[in-house]
């Protein structure tokens, strides 16, 4: 079973060991007049999804490069070194940089894990299962008084209240990439540093990814219509979804983007040369079958 990068579980002891599903009920309410208001934002450990970054960088009117440099810190999501990003906090203070005296200064664009709290989401792919499953867990931290409020609500209705379904939908393909990568293990070869760089670009650095899509190198390889290219130049969400398809193509060979025939021929020759260099280790420098 693989867990999700969307976990926001600061201390394992805070996690209630009961799997919850959409119809299950929790007792919880968070509101502005509660005594612990903002306490949870003063000690954060928040992983960001690609759609979180898209929303935040647009809200703050920054490029993705600027946003990543100012507000995030990289980390490895798993033992293979899959790159992730978290919100950066000061060295001596774990408060969220978006916390203001009045509360969250980016509330309408707050990240997925902030929306879910005090639920943790785990997307799982059970062994031999072809599909992913979502399960939820209650996080009970001492400072959070929301659990003492009398309101009960189903997990499904809580998701609606927090407008989280849209975020999940936007990140679904990306989560599939991570789960597939983890469940495929070593059978598809060890990903190279270049694959991880490409994963980072397609996942988190949307504006630089757009420059790549606009480049001559890209159009020499991929066969997109002028209309498709134009949309990718102006529409962030379309670009993000295209990036996920391209990542699936590059990492797993799931071909959904047309490749120019002469580029395919050239790549086949390059692959042949690589295998000739080290016939005992054809997975060396593995970049995936779908072309970058």
* Pairwise CA distance, residues 81 & 190, whole Å: 10
User: Should residue 99 be labelled a site residue for ligand SF4 when binding is judged by CB under 6 A?
Assistant: yes
Q: Is 164 in the site for ligand SF4 (CB under 6 A)?
A: no
Check binding of 124 to ligand SF4 (CB under 6 A). no
Work out how close the CB of 40 gets to ligand SF4 at its nearest, in angstroms, rounded to a whole number. 3
Is 9 near ligand SF4 (CB under 6 A)?
no
Q: Does residue 60 touch ligand SF4 according to CB under 6 A?
A: no
| Interaction between residue 37 and ligand SF4 (CB under 6 A) | yes
Q: Is the peptide bond before 61 cis (omega within 30 degrees of 0)?
A: no
Q: Is 104 in the site for ligand SF4 (CB under 6 A)?
A: yes
Task: Report in angstroms the alpha-carbon separations of 261 from 50, 124, 258.
Answer: 31, 37, 9
Query: Out of 9, 15, 30, 221, which residue is the one contacting ligand SF4 (CB under 6 A)?
Result: 30
Q: Which helix (H) or strand (E) holds 198?
A: helix 193-204
What mask, x for binding ligand SF4 by CB under 6 A, covers residues 211 to 250? ----------------------------------------
The total of other beta-carbon atoms located within 10 Å of residue 43's CB is: 15
Q: Which is nearer to ligand SF4, 44 or 232 (CB)?
A: 44
CB 176 within 8 A of CB 51: no
**Which tokens belong to 28?**
């919880």
3 state SS for 22-77? CCCEEECCCCCCCCCCCHHHHCCCCECCHHHHHHHHHHCCCCHHHHHHHHEEEEEC
Cβ distance to ligand SF4 smaller for residue 118 or 206:
118
Task: Determine which residue in the list 62, 77, 145, 263 makes contact with ligand SF4, applying CB under 6 A.
Answer: 145
Residues 166-205 that bind ligand SF4 (CB under 6 A): none
């Amino acid at each position: 079973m693989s867990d999700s990068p969307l976990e926001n579980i600061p201390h394992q002891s805070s996690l209630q060991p009961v799997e919850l599903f959409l119809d299950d009920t929790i007792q919880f309410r968070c509101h502005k007049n509660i005594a612990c208001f903002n306490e949870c934002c003063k000690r954060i450990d928040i992983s960001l999804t690609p759609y979180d970054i898209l929303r935040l960088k647009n809200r703050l009117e920054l490029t993705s490069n600027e946003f990543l440099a100012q507000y995030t810190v990289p980390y490895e999501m798993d033992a293979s070194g899959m790159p992730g990003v978290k919100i950066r906090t000061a060295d001596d203070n774990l408060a969220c940089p978006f916390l203001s005296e009045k509360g969250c200064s980016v509330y309408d664009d707050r990240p997925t894990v902030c929306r879910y709290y005090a639920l943790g989401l785990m997307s799982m792919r059970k062994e031999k299962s072809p599909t992913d499953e979502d399960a939820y867990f209650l996080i009970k931290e001492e400072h959070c008084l929301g659990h003492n409020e009398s309101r009960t609500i189903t997990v499904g209705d809580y998701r609606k209240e927090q407008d989280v379904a849209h975020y999940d939908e936007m990140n679904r393909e990306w989560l599939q990439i991570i789960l597939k990568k983890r469940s495929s293990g070593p059978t598809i070869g060890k990903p190279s540093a270049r694959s991880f760089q490409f994963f980072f670009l397609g996942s988190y650095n949307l504006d630089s990814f757009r420059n790549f899509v606009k480049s001559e190198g890209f159009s020499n390889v991929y066969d997109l219509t002028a209309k498709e290219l134009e949309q990718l130049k102006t529409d962030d969400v379309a670009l993000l979804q295209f990036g996920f398809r391209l990542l699936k193509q590059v990492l797993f060979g799931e071909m959904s983007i047309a490749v120019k025939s002469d580029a395919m021929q050239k790549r086949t020759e390059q692959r042949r040369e690589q295998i000739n260099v080290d016939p005992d280790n054809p997975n060396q420098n593995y970049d995936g079958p779908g072309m970058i």
